[in-house]
Amino acid sequence: DDGGGDGDSDVLGDSRGSTLSSRTGRQHNNSGALRASPRVEGEQEGGHPTSSSGREDDVSTLGPPPELRPQPGLSLMQRRGSDGSDGTHLTAADTVHGSTVVTAKRMDNVCGFMSRRSFFVSISVFVILLLVVGLAVGLTKGTDPTTDEQVLFPDPDEVLTTVPEPVCFSYLPKMSNLSKACPDPTSLPRGGPLCQLVAEGLLEAADPAANIDIAITNAGAIRSDAFAGDLTVGTVRTQVLPFSEDRAAYLSVTPAEIKATLEAPLVDDGLIFTEAMQKEFFPDVPTVKLHWSYEAKYPYAAGLRYDVDIAAPDGEKVSNIVINPRYAGDDDWIALDVTDTSTLIRVVTSDYLAGGGDGYFTGVPRERIEIQENLELADLFLSYCSRQEELIGPDRIVDMSTREYLTATTDD
């Protein structure tokens, strides 16, 4: 060191707070401490005068300039910024051995564009919104009439009405009798009274606004007698009409389509739905022992009557069809023109049959079928039963939809 120096050789602090040794002759001792070299009297360093002894004033006695001195009551890192901020982003400055040390602003931002506080507030709001949406979905599930089923009779123990004497079920007139209450097939020459009563109930309980004229169901939808005593909701849902997936359906069909619908289920295709198959596909439904492929498909109707010759050729088994629309007089039965392909008749049935099940309604265009997704088929019959003081089967044999039934061995 030549001992010389000028005003440009000050010790400066860089932007990261480190110090630099300049030509002033400051040196580090072996311990790493910074000491000052002798200077000529009157020489200044960084604008600070030297003492008359010829050495630089002890840097430990030097404090920061007045404007950088700590304010009372605030630590160095808590000083209020010159912009009047509350200390969230404060700066602090001091001198170390005569050098200005400036601390950088504290980085409280996240990802460089959002403060930590704003970040956590945003996350909290997002989580709350998710919870609110989830709660709203949970509260509305099962109550939205456009998406969820409306259970009209939720209590299985509710008593609907009283059955004074058994109303028997059977499928084919004369030929089959699955009833436990009426085991003699010859006692049911026009078929099962309970099957007929279900068809009547569907017609009576259908929505009046739908302007339904007739009801059609298949025999296999019914699986039990209505025994004497109290008839409960549970009995209807698990025994009488146990196919819980069946929904009500409203259709507009022509007379020609009605004739085809009555004929198709009576075709003998040789395929019998065995009890083993019934258990496999419908484990919660009572099984029945079938002997003919068309047995459970046999049609029952309300507002419609017909003759059946089961031994006649396919397509010619049903004849003499007469109709009595729902709003017509009791004795106003008129012949159905089965060649009519334009007149539309309103029908209530199950969505299974409306979709072509058992051969029903296979020629009806989809746009003329209205599935009531929120209405179980059983609910229509439950509604009908709840309006009856007593549940009684058809009073007269002529009240059955099958007016005459002929087999290969009978003439009546």
Whether the predicted model's global pTM rises above the 0.85 cut: no
Contacts of residue 192, Cβ cutoff 8 Å, sequence gap at least 6: 168, 169, 170, 171, 177, 179, 219, 222, 300
Q: For position 310, what pLDDT does the model report? A: 95
Residues in the chain: 412
Residue with tokens 């698990």: 238
Q: For position 328, what pLDDT does the model report? A: 60
Rounded mean pLDDT, 50-54: 45
Residues linked to residue 248 through DSSP beta bridges, in sequence order: 350, 372
Contacts of residue 219, Cβ cutoff 8 Å, sequence gap at least 6: 170, 171, 172, 191, 192, 195, 295, 296, 297, 298, 299, 300
Token reading at 170? 């059977």
Question: What is the DSSP code (8-state) at residue 13?
Answer: B
Confidence of residue 293 (pLDDT cuts 50, 70, 90): very high
How big is the CA angle at 15 (ends 11 and 20), to the nearest 5 degrees? 25
Q: For position 407, what pLDDT does the model report? A: 87
Rounded mean pLDDT, 317-324: 96
DSSP 355-393: TTGGGTTTTS-GGGEEEEEEEEHHHHHHHHHHT-SB---
Lowest mean per-residue pLDDT among 13-27, 101-115, 228-242, 377-391 = 13-27
Tens digits of residue pLDDT in 109-161:
545 555 666 766 777 777 787 776 666 544 443 444 444 445 689 999 999 99
Of 202 and 44, which is predicted with more confidence? 202
